[in-house]
Amino acid sequence: MEVWSYHIPTKVIFGKKSLEKITDVVESFKPNRIMLVTGRKSMKKLGVTDRIIDYLKNCRVVVYNKVEQNPDVSTVEKGIRFLKDEKCDLVIGLGGGSTIDTAKAVSVLSKNQRPVDEYLSGKRKIVDRGVPLIAIPTTAGTGTEVTQYASIIDETKKRKLSLSHEYIHPSIAIVDPTLTVTMPKFVTATTGLDALSQCIEAYWAKDHTPISDIYALNGIALIFNNLVNTFNHAENITFRGKMALAALFSGIAISITKTTIVHSVSYPLTTHFKISHGLACALTLPSFIRYNSKVVRQRICNIAQTIGAEDVEGLIRKTEGLISCLEVPKRLGEVGVQRTDIELIVSEGFRPDRAENNPRKVTKEDLKAILEGLL
Ligand SMILES: [Fe+2]
């Protein structure tokens, strides 16, 4: 029997209106000053930033609202400077994956003194715990509220880089599905597909464990049963709650297993072609289900069974059907990728930690054939 371990240090507070708990949660940290990290506009526009400031009216809160979609290294550097100048000793990340990942990087790297890119490139290891972090997701997909990862883009080198360390887990995750009802339809679709890809990859990952399997299969069932309904009934809080739970499960699953080839290939699709993360995963997911079924057929049949599909091809049909219902592109040609771009995607599509975690070895020729088949 393989040796495995399980430890998720993030305390999760989940449910409708759980945001109201933030007053007590923050009080337990006794902070002097809080850095609230948000995106540029939407949280302010929707009044969520003001609600949080109101819940924390007895605390000193300073807002860092400089996080863009797919944050760049410079956003993290500026955030660290802001945290130090303002002498903040607690960070709250409020938003989608980009915002929470920035908050994670700022909180941990503010206590590790070397330049940010040294940690992102893997040249230097994180050695010190960061400032405590509370993650409050407003999308349902990345599961980053419970993982030890933070993805940041190096715009100058066009590379998506990742931090991975146990000190990056948020201290607390407040998952309030009511915060996700205002997501635009496209974001509901693509973040939900990210969660699906994460669950499927966690289930077939070489590093899967009996515990990650439970989260992955339950997440897959939740997504197939609720994502289309969530897409079509944006304000239905029951559906939103199910998808928030699925995203949380996907985050716990990949925090145990890491992702695999689908996420690995998604990175150059995002950095070079500005394809949103969840869509970049969904584009190759059905192809890799078929590809991996040659070596982990039984596991893929288990996934099929979970959603009432007969076999591997049935699972692929259902996955493609789900993607169609969400009205997002299914082919690389539809999102601006041309035959002449394939070489670049292949050359940057293999991230050792993820590609080698795929159950079936993927060669450059295999990947090229899969991508060409999607043009
Ligand atoms: Fe992801």
Write the pLDDT tens digit of every residue in 123-136: 999 999 999 999 99
What percentage of the chain has pLDDT greater than the value 90? Answer: 95
CA–CA dist 161, 76 (Å, integer): 13
pLDDT the model gives residue 44: 77
| Centre of ligand 1 from the C-alpha of residue 141, in Å | 7
| Centre of ligand 1 from the C-alpha of residue 16, in Å | 24
pLDDT the model gives residue 37: 97
Residue 282: CA count within 13 A, CB half-sphere: 29
Cα–chain center distance at 48: 21
Q: What angle do CA 10, 15, 17 make, to 5 degrees?
A: 115
| Centre of ligand 1 from the C-alpha of residue 24, in Å | 31
Confidence of residue 42 (pLDDT cuts 50, 70, 90): confident
Decide if 346 contacts 368 (C-beta within 8 A). yes
Confidence of residue 2 (pLDDT cuts 50, 70, 90): confident
What percentage of the chain has pLDDT greater than the value 70? Answer: 100
| Centre of ligand 1 from the C-alpha of residue 374, in Å | 20
From 95, 293, 101, select the one nearest 183 (Cα to Cα): 95
Q: Average pLDDT in the 330-335 region? A: 97
